Amino acid sequence: MKPRSKAKQTVSLRAVLLSLIVLIANVVVNGSIFLFFRDSTLNPLLTAVLAVLWGVLGVYLIYYTLTWAVEQYPDYVRRKVLPYIFIGPAVIILGWLLVLPALRTLYLSFFNASSEKFVGLSNYAAIFSDHLMATALRNNLLWVFVGTLACVAFGLLIAILADRSSYEKLAKSIIFMPMAISFVAAGVIWKFVYYYQPGDEQIGLLNAIVTYFGGEPQAWTSMLQPWNNFFLIIILIWMQTGFAMVIFSAAIKGVPDDILEAARVDGANEVKIFFGIMIPYISATILTVTTTIIVFTLKIFDVVMVMTGGQYDTEVVATQFYRQFFMYRNFGYGSTLAIVLLIAVLPVILINLRQFRKQGGF
């Protein structure tokens, strides 16, 4: 028995040494390639092509070599370690790109504008006594409640109606189309819709319609507080209703037909079927879509920046963060705003993760 035990010990030691060699070789080789590209004087186009090739082949070789190293271990070790080989690089990259910056931002939030003097919780106290921040928080709440409620309600309504239409695919394609463009592009499009200029000639679509029917043109996004915020929220509704509609449509199609038929046989009308059967059956999907859109609204930045730049009382937390951190160079206050935004988003993300776990997502 002793020789066999010793052989097993030797194999384990060999596997450990191979693992270390493979790991160090990956770090050295890929690190050297990165330094080469960083300091390279090659043609930019050639550099881009080589970098793409390195990215594809490099990732393949990393996974291949690490998997080969793990296969040198006994079966019981291999089964436990192999899953971490596949998720390990992703976790490391996420930690490097998300966790470490978040920790550094938290650290900077306790310092003054130049990050030289420790000020404790002064930045956090200043947030809730600043008039601009009060406006930004109010506007974020408008985006969360009005925007989310409208997206979910319209998405659910359109999903129900389209499901019974003979033009279902065409209708869904048209409504989902805005999801194909970015928030910046949507802001540019709607800037022309809301465009205002003094005088009778109006090139903005909305003002052209208003003046055609004898009304007075308005500066919709700059002069009608707080209504200008609602005009901006319409852009979110235009974009995210298609997302909600597609998810709800898939969930509605999953409602068993025999349950619906049994309800109709028992005399239930369509309204009772909708609220008594469909809504409870897809409640988990409604929660998931709602929390996802809430995260979008809490982080909203692009639309406000393109449409108004945060002027005319349309500031949100993200635009204030951008202004404080990158324009005014107030790193302490800007970092504090980022942490407040992170704290606001975290509970919604946790709800989503818990819902995914209940549904067997992980």
Of 296, 278, 285, 311, the residue nearest 349 (C-alpha): 296
Q: How confident is the model at residue 362 (pLDDT cuts 50, 70, 90)?
A: low
What is the pLDDT of the chain when averaged over all its residues?
85
pLDDT tens for 38-51 read 888 888 888 889 98
Q: What is the pLDDT of residues 28-83, one digit of tens each?
A: 998 899 888 888 888 888 888 998 999 889 888 888 888 888 888 888 778 888 88
Token pair belonging to 183: 């928030």
DSSP character for 146? I
* pTM check: above 0.95: no
pLDDT higher than 60, residue 361 = no
pLDDT band at 147, cuts 50/70/90?
Answer: very high
Distances in Å between the Cα of 321 and the Cα atoms of 53, 82, 299, 305, 331 are 37, 42, 11, 12, 9
Looking at residue 5, what is its pLDDT?
47
Residue 285 is given by DSSP the state H
At 2, the pLDDT band (50, 70, 90 cuts) reads very low
d(CA 351, CA 362): 14
307-358 per-position pLDDT tens digit? 988 888 888 988 988 888 888 888 998 899 989 888 888 888 888 778 777 7
- Say which DSSP state 153 is in: H
Q: Which structural domains are found in the chain, ordered by start? A: 13-109 (no CATH), 126-359 (1.10.3720.10)
Tokens, residue 56? 């594809």
